[in-house]
Amino acid sequence: MATQSSLAKHDAISDAELAARPSLTLTRRFNAAPEKVYAAWADPQKLMQWFGPTSVEEGSVKADIDLRVGGRYRISFSANGNYNEVGGVYREVIPNQRLVFSWAWHSTPERESLVTISIKPEGSGTLLIFNHAQFVDATARDNHERGWTEFLGKLESYLA
């Protein structure tokens, strides 16, 4: 839950300042229908089967998803002996097409960023455009780019 000080801090950052922060975009084509790709993100039971880095400890992924605008999510997992937890709020939910949600690690809640997942039919498969924006710095962006690349590789295997 956001505290008054974190809300005030967010209000002090202009939209232009947020837009100027580092971001990343990854594009992947999956040999699966858009509905299946969307469900992999939207259904906690499905998400728990692929989410996390390649080093995630089997059975450690837990997901709590309230998939609606204003709904919250929380995902946790263990990897390399470390516990990780991330959460946020859904800002846009268009079934089988688009998800937009805030993203903040439990350990650094003040570093909130924004994830946009666009899902588009392409031939017999799906084009996923993954954008993660408003990073606090380039190092955070680069670390997330490595992580998301692993995650999307696992998603591709899950959908195959």
What are the b/e assignments for 45-78, b being 16+ CB within 10 Å?
Answer: ebbbebbbbeebeeeebebebebeeeebbebbbb
Domain presence at residue 133 = yes
Question: Mean pLDDT, to the nearest integer, of 146-159?
Answer: 95
Q: What are the residues whose beta carbons fall under 8 Å from the beta carbon of 100, sequence distance 6 or more?
A: 90, 91, 92, 93, 114, 115, 116, 117
Question: Mean pLDDT, to the nearest integer, of 1-19?
Answer: 55
Domain presence at residue 41 = yes
Please determine, for residue 9, whether its predicted confidence score (pLDDT) is greater than 50. Answer: no
Residue 17: which pLDDT band, with cuts at 50, 70 and 90?
Answer: confident
Domain presence at residue 56 = yes
Domain presence at residue 48 = yes
Please determine, for residue 8, whether its predicted confidence score (pLDDT) is greater than 60. Answer: no
Question: Mean pLDDT, to the nearest integer, of 110-129?
Answer: 96
What's the whole-number average pLDDT of the chain?
A: 91
What per-residue confidence (pLDDT) applies to 18? 67
Residue 28: which pLDDT band, with cuts at 50, 70 and 90?
Answer: very high
Domain presence at residue 85 = yes
Please determine, for residue 5, whether its predicted confidence score (pLDDT) is greater than 60. Answer: no
The tens digit of pLDDT for each residue in 37-89 reads 999 999 999 999 999 999 999 999 999 999 999 999 999 999 999 999 999 99
Total number of domains in the chain? 1
Domain presence at residue 69 = yes
What per-residue confidence (pLDDT) applies to 69? 98
Residue 15: which pLDDT band, with cuts at 50, 70 and 90?
Answer: confident
CATH of the domain at 73: 3.30.530.20
Range of the domain at 103: 21-159
> Taking a C-beta distance cutoff of 8 angstroms, is the pair 50, 32 a contact?
no
Range of lowest pLDDT (11-20, 85-94, 105-114, 133-142): 11-20
Prediction pTM value: 0.87
What per-residue confidence (pLDDT) applies to 6? 43
Domain presence at residue 10 = no
Q: Which of 88, 118, 130, 122 is nearest to 105 (CA)?
A: 88
Domain presence at residue 13 = no
Q: Which of 117, 120, 119 is nearest to 100 (CA)?
A: 117
